[in-house]
Amino acid sequence: MRAVSVEDLKPGMILARTLVNDDMVVVLSEDTLLTKAHITRLNFLNIAVVYIKDEYELSKNYQTASSIFNRGNAFVKEYDSVVQEARSIFDETSKSGSVPINETQDMVKDTIAPMARNSGAIDYLYELNHRANDVYNHSLRVSILAGVIAKWMHFNRAKTRELILAGFLHDIGKCKFPQRLLDKSISNLHGEDYEAYIKHTVDGQHILSSVDGLSDGIKLAAMQHHERMDGTGFPFGSTGPDIHEYARIIMIADLYDNITTEREGYIKQTPFAAIAQITENMYTSLDPEVCVPVLTHIKDAFLGSRISLNNGEQGIIAAYPNDFAAHPFISLTSSNEIVNLNEHPELVITEYNPK
């Protein structure tokens, strides 16, 4: 699925999402084969962008696979395959103290980068985030998220792969952590456990410093992904100008994954909670030059998604305010009323169902 400007639509393209107007009336249904008349109508209605099925969805291989499992299941199947490879890389690093870099780079190029280009990656990752929070699962998800962000920031292919590699290796310093530390939220760590946790950033940079051919950005992403633009992070309290671009991106991917993953003492939250936290911190602890493209594209990805609120109401994401407000407008299923969650702090999205 990919977003296409109505101006660029061609007869024969197939609609990937049902299109509704401001009154929540269906304009065109999913799977509609677009005609010249449909495109003219969309122009008349001042609709700027629609989602169409991409080449993968229309390929014979996909059509065959879709009869067995849907596209989300295909993503999960691919993830399950590559996570075993990710685990072996962390296991080998733990035993030898050295990253098997050729194997890691091949995994990035052959598997992770194509997964990150998948237009449904954000949806599918959320479905995976109930799984084990071990370091290689987390690192794999962060690497995919980093690749998605690279796409949103229009990085070229070489820089995208480098950022994905930085995402996968950002927590390599945890490869010798006991599981009890990996399972806990940092907020639950104290004393020696907390000091050991902070040290994983320096340990990661130290491990990567012995690997030939790695850029400074990859090494600094390992050391600086817990730093914050306003100096409130660790291990050194570095501020904006001293934090590498890769680290600024990985800190957001890492934050997003941590918010939307279950672990000890922490219930998995929805992507909308992550969006709200990124929005609230984009001009303080996070980098707005990364946050703006992330928020712009991730909000677009969730338009039309079905949700449940904490008061029992259900609805869909109708829009986001234009001023980077933290929360969306919800069209309630029961009444078609549009509710601005920014004006109703008592209302919280508790469930999210991918399209």
Check residue 56 and give its pLDDT: 53
Check residue 26 and give its pLDDT: 63
Q: Report the distance separating Cα 142 and Cα 257, nearest Å.
A: 7
pLDDT digits (tens, 9 = 90+) for 183-225: 666 777 888 888 888 999 999 999 999 999 999 999 999 999 9
Check residue 40 and give its pLDDT: 82
Q: Report the distance separating Cα 90 and Cα 196, nearest Å.
A: 18
Check residue 264 and give its pLDDT: 59
Reading the chain (355 residues) residue by residue, the pLDDT tens digits are 778 888 889 888 888 877 766 655 567 777 788 888 788 878 878 888 888 887 655 554 444 434 434 556 778 888 988 999 999 999 999 999 999 999 999 999 999 999 999 878 888 888 775 555 688 999 999 999 999 999 999 999 999 999 999 999 999 999 877 777 776 667 778 888 888 889 999 999 999 999 999 999 999 999 999 999 999 999 999 999 999 999 999 999 999 998 988 765 667 788 999 999 999 999 999 999 999 999 999 888 888 888 999 999 999 998 888 888 899 999 999 998 999 999 999 999 998 875 5
SS3 29: coil
SS3 133: coil
pLDDT digits (tens, 9 = 90+) for 87-109: 999 999 999 999 999 999 999 99
SS3 226: coil
**Going by C-beta distance under 8 Å and a sequence separation of 6 or more, which residues neighbour residue 96?**
none
SS3 190: coil
Check residue 19 and give its pLDDT: 76
